Structure 1
Amino acid sequence: MNVKKMQAMMLIIVSVVVFLAGYREMKPVSDQEKMESMIAVLEKNGTNVQRWSWLARETKTISNIHTFEELLKQLKERANVEEWEIEQSKDGYKATAQKKFSSYEERLVVTWTMENTKENTFIIYEVSGEKWNPKYINKMNQIFDTKPKIYTCIQGALNDKIEGVLQDKVNEVLKDLSAKMIEKVEERAFVSVSAYNKKWNDALSTNKEKINVQIAIRSTNNKNTIVVGTPIITSEY
């Protein structure tokens, strides 16, 4: 082997070694990690976290009332539901079960529309409380047959008076979340942004752009409240 070929071979070997040494497998960020990241970022930015919510949703296709009733029976056993509160309308049925504990509360909702269309049934399990603890959502694994879509949300009050415009505080939170702003709605006492964190493995599409986190700040009566949610905010703000 001549010198040039030897040098070329050594260059390839060195390049491969450097690549492998610098490579780290990108593991998906779990929904629990996203929740804890949002809480940490808000606290870092002077927020007194007051409430969190975790909403899990699964869709199914059910063709008749008997199958719907069977589903309610199964979920009653899985989720330890004491009693369903059932509402009937011309479109279908809605079954709700709620339970309050000392540190959190949970709500299970099952809706079925009588139209025989794809995904006409929704199972929604929502847990909320003041102080986050992952053990509060353990029951979720008993409820769903498949991996549900998760929506998480954090609400709090900013401890310090915001100097300057609300957008400045939003920018600080975006930076700490490693998120890029995609869309913005701004008023005198309110600002809301949709953003994208490329490290998070899920996203929604809006105007051909990806988003997976929303931030909203409202200023009323010398009180500044902030809400952060992923992939979107599901609570009222």
Structure 2
Amino acid sequence: MGKKISVFLAIFIVGVIVYYGSYVTNAQASNSTLEKMVNVLNKEAVEMKEWSLYAREEATDVTSLVNFQMKSKQLQTKYKGFKWDIKRENGVWKAKGTRQAGSVKELIMLTYTGDKKSTGGYISYELIGQEFTTQNVSDAEGIFKDNYEKLFLTNPLIFSCIKGEINDKMKSVLSLQVKQLLTAFNAQQIESLMEESFVSVSAYTGLWEEALSSQQQEMNLQIALRKTGMGGQTTLVVGTPIITSEY
């Protein structure tokens, strides 16, 4: 099943690369999308545990280890409030900066593979939180928007994600649970992967304007459900335009 999930996820990642030019977004638009996701899930029998905002762009100026080291020092100087860790892991150089402020965690990552075929490194920024009140989400979005504008030279895709658990009030069969969630988001299913203990669907909703075009269809929502053992809880991951991590 792991291979199926990886293939399914890889298809969408390729879609992001191929259709990047058709996706128009900015920090403000994605943030309002996160708020809409929270509002929808608040009305369902979902116990939200964590939300995240993530963006990444190519660091074309990082074409050598020397460039990587120079840019790493620049980031450490600019973001002194972050705790930095620089190391080589599985052949990839990583400069990782983290900062925890209450329930909100920030992560800046600069990577360089050293591969001659690569055009450069990558820089990413992620904001993770556990509070879901309107004020908490709004304040965190302000932090993300500020650093998004400082870190990135282009206008990279922003991925919004919410993780949680579904209680017993919702229908127990995964296929029915995901159907109920699609209805809540007023979304139309486009593609799906259905298994007994795992379901993942990609869909389109009109709740936000941003969309990714794939095979003449628009997609801007992905939902994954996994049931853990006999009578176990159902974990939920909702992402837009896709989920960027394994689930």
TM (norm. structure 2) is 0.74
- Aligned pair count reads 210
Counterpart of 2:73 in structure 1 is 73
Distance in 1 separating the partners of 2:73 and 2:203: 40
Instruction: Give 1:35 deviation, angstroms.
Output: 0.7
Counterpart of 1:203 in structure 2 is 212
Distance in 2 separating the partners of 1:107 and 1:85: 11
Counterpart of 1:130 in structure 2 is 130
Q: 1:146 aligns with which of 139, 142, 154?
A: 154
The structure-2 alpha-carbon separation of the partners of 1:51 and 1:65, relative to structure 1 and needing over 3 Å to count, comes to same
Instruction: Give 1:155 deviation, angstroms.
Output: 1.1
Counterpart of 1:14 in structure 2 is none
Counterpart of 2:95 in structure 1 is 95
- Note the residue ranges of structure 2 that are not aligned, 5 or more in a row: 1-24
Counterpart of 2:45 in structure 1 is 46
Greater shift in the superposed pair: 196-205 or 52-61: 196-205
Distance in 2 separating the partners of 1:119 and 1:51: 34
Distance in 1 separating the partners of 2:160 and 2:106: 14
The structure-2 alpha-carbon separation of the partners of 1:98 and 1:157, relative to structure 1 and needing over 3 Å to count, comes to same
Q: Does 1:55 align with 2:54?
A: yes
1:191-218 deviation line (CA, Å, top 9, x unaligned): 110112355323163x664422110122
Distance in 1 separating the partners of 2:32 and 2:79: 24
Q: 2:236 aligns with which of 200, 205, 226?
A: 226
1:131-151 deviation line (CA, Å, top 9, x unaligned): 142332243332222223211
Distance in 2 separating the partners of 1:157 and 1:186: 19
Distance in 2 separating the partners of 1:89 and 1:48: 35
- Note the residue ranges of structure 1 that are not aligned, 5 or more in a row: 1-26
Instruction: Give 1:110 deviation, angstroms.
Output: 0.5
Amino acid at match of 2:235: T
The answer (yes or no) to whether the contact 2:163–2:236 under 8 Å persists in 1 is yes
The answer (yes or no) to whether the contact 1:54–1:153 under 8 Å persists in 2 is yes
Counterpart of 2:174 in structure 1 is 166
Counterpart of 1:36 in structure 2 is 35
* Sequence identity percentage: 34
Instruction: Give 1:161 deviation, angstroms.
Output: 3.5
Counterpart of 1:190 in structure 2 is 198
Instruction: Give 1:64 deviation, angstroms.
Output: 2.4
Amino acid at match of 2:107: R
The answer (yes or no) to whether the contact 1:75–1:81 under 8 Å persists in 2 is no
The answer (yes or no) to whether the contact 1:79–1:142 under 8 Å persists in 2 is no
The answer (yes or no) to whether the contact 1:79–1:143 under 8 Å persists in 2 is no
- Secondary structure (helix, strand or coil) at the match of 1:33 reads helix
Distance in 2 separating the partners of 1:164 and 1:73: 51
| Runs of 4+ displaced beyond 4 Å | 89-92, 116-119
The structure-2 alpha-carbon separation of the partners of 1:148 and 1:81, relative to structure 1 and needing over 3 Å to count, comes to farther
- Which of the pair has the greater relative contact order for Cα pairs under 8 Å at 6+ separation? 2
The answer (yes or no) to whether the contact 2:63–2:119 under 8 Å persists in 1 is no
- Secondary structure (helix, strand or coil) at the match of 1:84 reads strand
Counterpart of 2:165 in structure 1 is 157
- Secondary structure (helix, strand or coil) at the match of 1:216 reads strand
Greater shift in the superposed pair: 99-108 or 60-69: 60-69
Q: Which has the larger radius of gyration?
A: 1
